[in-house]
Amino acid sequence: MFYQWSVIITTLLLFLSCASESPKQTSHKGLIIQKITEPIILNGGVDEAAWNKASWYPMDQYWIGAPTSKEDFSGRFKVLWSNDRLYVLAETTDDIIRDMHEDGLERYWDDDCLEIFIDENASGGDHQYNHNAFAYHIAHNLRVTDMGLDSLPAYFDHHLQSAKVTDNNITTWEIAIEVHTDDYSFGQKPRKLQAGEKIGFMIAYCDNDNSKEREHFIGSTKVEGEDKNRGWIDAGIFDKWTLVE
């Protein structure tokens, strides 16, 4: 009798443990992007109700530099989508805002900047000198830079509309981004978005206060391995987000 009960209990426990584990194996970390319910006014202010629908996510993964104080850098972000754009709200705290390269195409990653990574079809793979994915560096003057097909940096201002407000050390960035396919060439129109699709996405901040090269590079995604500065080359490390209504 005791043996029968122990078999039943063991079977039940095994069933419960499998049932609780199976969703973890099939989900993509549960990262979802909600659709906007009303227009977003790009002004660096968050007074529109649409943003209430989205959750805050942290920018807390140190890809370059050792963990630092909240005053030196801290950041969080929200994402929404419409049929035509992704919308990003980022709030960054940085004690010294610095833009030392006047030419926005020169070592732009060593100036303070926000960086938004998009792999429109969540394909992963190399995107260093192709448009399999984009790594938009948004400077504090709101100019946008990424690598072109010719392996040279180029301005991509026309893919984004941005506004920001800096109050003391806190900057609020409000950005609308067109989504382009991997066969993108200059002048090509963006594609439409639809519910249910998956997009590769992550966001980071390059923080440089006093140095020749950036002191910290802090992103939203946990990157395994020694070299964590791989986002500008490898779209395989981007998180996969699902667009929902």
* Residue nearest to Ca ion according to CB distances in the complex: 123
CA distances from 194 to 60, 80, 89, 207, 243 (A): 29, 12, 20, 34, 7
* C-alpha to C-alpha distance for 206 and 3, rounded to whole angstroms: 62
Nearer to Ca ion, 46 or 154 (CB): 46
Question: Smallest distance from the beta carbon of 124 to Ca ion, in angstroms?
Answer: 7
Nearest CB to Ca ion, comparing residues 110 and 209:
209
Cβ 153 vs Cβ 147: under 8 Å: yes
The nearest distance, CB 96 to Ca ion, in angstroms, is: 5
Nearer to Ca ion, 3 or 181 (CB): 181
Binding site for Ca ion (CB under 5 A): 41, 43, 45, 72-73, 94-96, 112, 119, 121, 123, 132, 182, 207, 209
Q: How far is the CB of 23 from Ca ion (least distance, A)?
A: 27
Decide whether 26 or 210 has the Cβ nearer to Ca ion. Answer: 210
**Least separation, in Å, of the C-beta of 10 and Ca ion?**
46
DSSP 8-state assignment for residue 143: -
Over the range 146-180, which residues count as b (16 or more CB within 10 Å of their CB) and which as e? bbeeeeebeebeebbebebeeeeeebbbbbbbbbb
Query: Can you name the residues that pair with 218 across neighbouring β-strands?
Result: 62, 205
